[in-house]
Structure 1
Amino acid sequence: MQEWQDGCVYQGEFGLDMKLGYGEFSWPTGESYHGQFYRDHRHGLGTYMWPDGSSFTGTFYLSAREGYGTMYLKERLFQGLYKADERFGPGVETYRDGSQDVGLWFHNHLLKLCVEIPDSLSIHSYPEFLGFLTHTPATVTLADEEKMGWGLEEGQDPFFYDYKRFLLNDDLTLPPEIYIYSTDNSHLPMTSSFRKDLDARLFLNDIPPFVDDGEPWFIRNETPLMVRIQKQAYKFRFTVTLTSSTSCWTTGLT
């Protein structure tokens, strides 16, 4: 089945009057996507291609790259985690000459270029610094990950406050056409039940629920950005092992 809109072509499965299941979508610009759709969004496993020959194969969440994926570029290859369409977490970038950048990424910035090696330099070898190890390490939990909430200044605008409350409160009924006329989640907050529906569709049984399941997820670096990266890595901890022809690097989360 095909759908034509503004020069775009869709061929694939439909459900609830929306793209739902496997399909292929192409734009007049030459960009194309083939993979899983859910409620009109690229959602699940798929491949996005650009006219210059570059492509991304991996996981999408509400049309944005999310989780593990491989980005094929003209001069380099990146394998790692994404969040909200940007690199976020562990990854390996390999260049034509075989050299690699390995570490934790935030967008296109490499934050950490090192791994733990057994029997390497340890603070335990220097008693004068052991005081830094006496505090109880904090732990990471996914229970409060991305909780819905109000902005600090939203109460100053009664119209906006009521508008957002309407969208976040699951006790209120949304218009039946809401997912048809608005498929751009960047301007439309999602109810918690809809987010659970999206997560269930994407992750299925591949990872445990987003709660603290008792694992000793100790925080090595309590910098806020590093904590966010660690949460992202734990969420996808079964697919974070990165391999290439010249190296094998893992986050040690499995």
Structure 2
Amino acid sequence: MASAVSTGEMVAAVLADLVGRIEQRLPAAVEDEYDGVHRLRTSVRRLRTALSVFGHHLRGRPTKALRRDLGDLGALLGVPRDLEVRADLLDDLLERLELGDLRADLVDPLRLEHGGAHRTFAAWSGGAAAADLRATLAEWSAGPPLKRPDKPAEEVASGLVLGQADVTLGLVPDVLAEASPEALHELRKKARRLRHTAEAVTKEPVALLGADVVDLGAAGSAIQSRLGDHRDALLLAEHVERTAPAMAPYSAVAATARELACEALAGLPDDVERLAEARDRLR
């Protein structure tokens, strides 16, 4: 996309691309193909992020309604996806600990629960709510409800990316001091939002900004990934402690999961420094 395009053209291109990804990825998610639910959930999250980040250039009422509906879909997808992640992580952990005989007690119930959660999503996908959402998405893809569309896109995009970087880095001192699961999760969400914003304006079909913004998005992605690994391991430990007998070898599984959660945080200060350096290069 040429650098002289307007903000309206940029926003319309980003939204149409994300709507297309959702439509493309829906069938695989309904069929529960490998990574299908995860890919669809990611696309839904990216579209919600775009609606929020570009909110000053979209009419408020329809944008709020679409974000709400996408949030409902994201929550519906989140149940089977989180169960899938937990089962896979637990399966790997049992293999590492040579405790494969515990799979029937620990992993199989999660797989069974995942199947039920996926069937709930699949049933939704064939209903009226899904049809209404897809019709709304098609309307937005054809022509989103823009406002203030004539501003130069490159200037607006740069400001949005820097704003997300500032928000993310602004959380860091309190998060590192507190280091609570809730604070770390909030930082993860902000880093993910930064990543999605940077990628929206550096990748096709927009591709307005260059390598420095790519680096900024990569730094946000590193924080998101690290904190995601931490959260997944911590939630796994809590799940085992809550549902399994308080005895060996189950306690060893929970303890190892907590060790993995701690290990995931070891490089966080370095990731934050990388993000700060990438942000400063754009000043």
Please report the TM-score for the alignment, with normalisation by the length of structure 1: 0.22
Larger proportion of helix: 2
More strand by share: 1
Higher relative CO (Cα under 8 Å, sequence separation at least 6) belongs to: 2
